[in-house]
Amino acid sequence: MKFETLRKIEKMAYIEIRDLKKSFSLKDGGNIEVLKGINLDIDRGDIYGIVGFSGAGKSTLIRCLNRLEEPDSGSVSVNGENVVEYPLDKLLQFRSETGMIFQQFNLLKAKNVYENIALPLKYRGTPRQDIKSRVAELLQIVGLEDKVQAYPSQLSGGQKQRVAIARALAANPKIILSDEATSALDPQTTDSILKLLKQLNRNFGITIILITHQMNVIQQICNKVAVIDDGLIAEQGTTFDVFAHPKAEITKRFVSGIFQTPTVEEVKNLKARTKDTVLLHLIFTGEKAGDSCIAGIIKVHGVDVNIVYNDPELYKTALKAAQKLGSEDKTGWIKVVPQPIVMGTEDFGRYSTVAPSFYAKVGSGKGPQLHSDYFLLDERALITLSALHVSFVNELLESAEKVRQ
């Protein structure tokens, strides 16, 4: 038996979930309804995020898709076939074509990396030589060629998750189900795992359904998103539409946690402090998120601008990127991405004055420092800035590398 390289998959097939319901029995004899009628359409090739708070029904939903939990009613159709109606033999075949990765990795502690990845192939009766070549291919894909004989206890969290992803890919899946796969990882490791999943999706067309409670994960990787609340879909659509125009209150809560904007009280205070200025709130969406429009206005019209409120988390991410890129030059200024989306610092105070583009200084002994790419501006005009940039981290790294001096 010879394995093909991960298959290219046609884009337009889809998963259709209709009126899916699931309840669980309680010890006191009662029932709790966890899924109350879920309806979703997922195109093949999507990275589809399902986000919700703890207890919303996310994990139950994803486990119903491959019938690790049996739904009470409703349907899950893949390519027009209802998985809920599959007999056992066909269900097992479907599961073999559906990889799954978990928050806690679920690796066998007594098995090494090779044995963990090979396990699903052994269950399928794959010849030994084919298993060997397939595992080698998968280790190369996930970047762990040198860990083939290592045991889980010898691996970092990110490495364990890469092994779990390789195992999920072993049988050439058409679909990957990810249940909080990055929740136990630090931010840097999370970014690397998301980048790997995105590469698998882009290179091989694998459909990824990703369960998370972290909206920044949705922001980085998903092209579509559904927000689940109390067993129902509160809102769904493209990531751009949901982030830019959230309608449900639960969605607004998630989005506000990423793109910080001033409260009404803060806006009133700003106006009171600067009575002779114009206060603008700019939201950059889609392709415009990468434009240096503020810098252009300054240069062309000579307008004085002071950016007074923005997202410190994006700033911190940018400085980490600058530190990484500047590792060879421990004392130099690294020019980082001329886009009006990376600003603000808690060290300078909430209403700090930072220009759209900046240099980040690394190796100063006190951590990264800021230097304006243009100039520090006075308070005759004020701009509050919120940014929408779905693939911010990857594009920041790529752009910073290009403009590094």
Considering 256, 281, 306, which residue would you say is the last residue of a domain? 256
Assigned domain for 152 exists: no
Q: In terms of domains, do 305 and 387 share one? A: yes
Residue 207 phi, psi dihedral angles, 5° rounding: -75, 130
Q: Which of 203, 235, 256 is the last residue of a domain?
A: 256
Contacts of 172 (CB under 8 A, 6+ apart): 3, 4, 6, 7, 97
CA distance readout (Å), 391 to 217, 243, 253, 342: 10, 13, 21, 13
Q: Which domain holds residue 61?
A: 14-97+172-256
Answer with the one of 256, 289, 324 that is the final residue of a domain: 256
Within 10 A of 403 (CB to CB), how many other CB atoms are there?
A: 12
In a domain, 140, yes or no: no
Residues 204 and 282 in one domain: no
Query: What CATH number is associated with residue 251?
Result: 3.40.50.300
**Residue-level pLDDT at 279:** 59
* 190 and 293 belong to one structural domain: no
Same domain, yes or no, for 68 and 91?
yes
* 293 & 363 share domain: yes
pLDDT at residue 352, as a whole number? 27
Residue 303 lies in a domain: yes
Is residue 160 a part of any domain in this protein? Answer: no
> Which residue bears the tokens 């759209």?
356
Structural domain includes residue 127:
no
pLDDT in tens, the chain (405 residues): 444 544 444 444 489 999 999 999 888 888 899 999 999 999 988 999 999 888 889 999 999 999 999 999 999 999 889 999 999 999 988 988 898 888 888 888 899 999 999 998 888 888 999 999 999 999 999 998 999 999 999 998 889 989 999 999 888 888 999 988 888 788 888 888 888 898 888 888 899 999 988 888 888 889 899 999 999 999 999 887 888 788 899 988 887 766 555 556 666 665 666 566 565 555 555 444 445 566 666 666 665 555 554 444 444 544 454 445 444 443 343 333 333 333 333 322 222 223 333 333 333 333 333 333 322 222 222 232 233 232 333 343 344 444 443
- Helix (H) / strand (E) element for 101: namely strand 98-102
Residues 398 and 278 in one domain: yes
Look at the chain and report how many structural domains it folds into: 2
Helix (H) or strand (E) holding 322: helix 312-325
Dihedral (CA of 128, 147, 103, 260) sign = negative
Query: Do 274 and 301 share a structural domain?
Result: yes
Question: Is residue 42 assigned to a domain?
Answer: yes
Q: Give the pLDDT score at 280.
A: 59
Do 190 and 207 fall within a single domain?
Answer: yes
Q: Are residues 303 and 378 in the same domain?
A: yes
DSSP H or E run through 151 = none
Q: What are phi and psi of 62, to 5 degrees?
A: -70, -30
Q: Is 264 left (phi over 0), alpha (psi -120 to 50) or beta?
A: alpha
Backbone angles phi, psi at 14, to 5 degrees: -150, 165
Same domain, 198 and 313: no
Residues 74 and 32 in one domain: yes
CA–CA gap between residue 340 and residue 355 (Å, rounded): 8
**Residue 217 located in a structural domain:** yes
Contact 234, 81 (CB under 8 A): no
- Regarding whether 245 and 325 lie in a shared domain, the answer is no
Q: What are the Cα distances from residue 383, in Å, to 119, 261, 307, 314?
A: 57, 12, 5, 17
Distance (Å, whole) CA 203 – CA 55 = 34
Residue 347 lies in a domain: yes
DSSP summary character for residue 324: H
